């Protein structure tokens, strides 16, 4: 009975939400991300919306809203995104990063969605852009 309750509590919300992700949050830490970015081996991709970006974004990040990625031709939209680097994507809380990762992985990117959201990354030492 306990196993059934555990299963129901853990998996039922996923089954009833209608959203199933094939991507998983990366185990890479924010420090790993910063190190890879500093070595020019990674890109930080913000998949929040334009209005969220304008309220504040991380220094060195690129903006590619999930809504734009889902709406247009992904190959055209991602033409300026480096395929020879790791793409770390983030959003506010991690959900949109998973969706974006699903799309980008199908296009051949080494994408690693972050569980940490924008505020978490600021607390982890990322710098807010002044632009």
Structural domains in the chain plus CATH codes: 22-123 (3.40.250.10)
pLDDT at 73: 78
**pLDDT tens, per residue, the chain with 131 residues:** 444 444 444 444 444 344 555 789 999 999 999 999 999 999 999 999 999 999 999 999 999 999 999 987 777 788 889 999 999 999 999 999 999 999 999 989 999 999 999 999 999 999 999 87
CA distance readout (Å), 81 to 1, 11, 23, 29, 71: 49, 34, 19, 22, 17
96 CB neighbour count, 10 Å cutoff:
23
Answer for the pair 23, 17: CB distance below 8 angstroms, yes or no: no
DSSP line for 28-60 = --HHHHHHHHHTT-EEEEE-S-HHHHHH--BTT
pLDDT at site 74:
73
What pLDDT, on a 0 to 100 scale, did the predictor assign at position 19?
55
């Amino acid at each position: 009975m306990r196993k059934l309750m555990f299963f129901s509590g853990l998996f039922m919300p996923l089954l009833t939400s209608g959203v199933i992700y094939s991507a998983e949050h990366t185990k890479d830490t924010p420090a790993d991300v910063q190190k890879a970015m500093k070595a020019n081996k990674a890109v930080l991709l913000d998949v929040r919306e334009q209005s969220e970006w304008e309220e504040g974004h991380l220094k060195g990040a690129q903006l590619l809203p999930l809504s734009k990625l889902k709406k247009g031709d992904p190959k055209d939209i991602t033409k300026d995104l480096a395929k020879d680097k790791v793409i770390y994507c983030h959003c506010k809380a991690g959900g949109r990063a998973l969706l974006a990762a699903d799309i980008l992985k199908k296009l051949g990117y080494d994408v690693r969605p972050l569980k940490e959201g924008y505020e978490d990354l600021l607390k982890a030492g990322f710098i807010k852009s002044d632009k």
